[in-house]
Amino acid sequence: MAAPYASLRVHLLWGTRGGRPWLDPEWRGRLFACASSALEGRGARLLCAGAARDHLHLYVEVPATRSVSDLVQATKSHTRRWIRRSFPHRSAFAWQAGYAAFSVTPRDDERVMDYIRHQDTGHRERTFTTEYATLLEQHGLAYDLGRMLE
């Protein structure tokens, strides 16, 4: 086989440092465009994005030549700089240190995208901490609740 063939889709999730409600609904579309730009610069493709005031979900097609960790760190860095520059009152903005990444099969695309697009609706009834823990448990990942949102 001369060329690599890969279908790598990942649901990424991370919060604001300290769970601060810094992601204003009025400019989330611009935040998603900024994240998309960071990802495209590394050969990835943003399939869908969603957010609540204290966290971000990205559904990404990852190139076979990149690690998820590198994509996350680059996207977090790029979006953090954009938020700080665009909104001076958010000059202390930071993302949490960690993140979650869940592999997704293409046949689950619509379900995952629907979930991501409706973050505001879902968070009327549950907190980010509850959502994060539930997703980690559904994917069989052990976690330390005390360190989860650092």
Query: Tens digits of per-residue pLDDT, 31-90?
Result: 999 999 999 999 999 999 999 999 999 999 999 999 999 999 999 999 999 999 999 999
Q: Domain range spanning residue 34? A: 9-138
- Tokens read off for 50: 């969603």
- Look at residue 4 and tell me if it is in a domain: no
- 46 CB-side CA count, 13 A: 22
Q: What does the pLDDT read at residue 1?
A: 55
Q: What does the pLDDT read at residue 3?
A: 73
- Look at residue 51 and tell me if it is in a domain: yes
Share the mean pLDDT of the chain.
90
- Look at residue 3 and tell me if it is in a domain: no
CATH of the domain at 88: 3.30.70.1290
| Residues 81, 54: Cα–Cα separation, whole Å | 17
Our count of domains for the chain comes to 1
- Look at residue 134 and tell me if it is in a domain: yes
- Look at residue 147 and tell me if it is in a domain: no
- Look at residue 32 and tell me if it is in a domain: yes
- Look at residue 131 and tell me if it is in a domain: yes
User: Residue 135's pLDDT band (boundaries 50, 70, 90)?
Assistant: confident
The residues, ordered by sequence, that sit 6+ positions from 23 with a Cβ below 8 Å of its Cβ are 16, 31, 51, 52, 53, 54, 55, 56
Contact in structure between 50 and 119 (CB atoms under 8 Å): yes
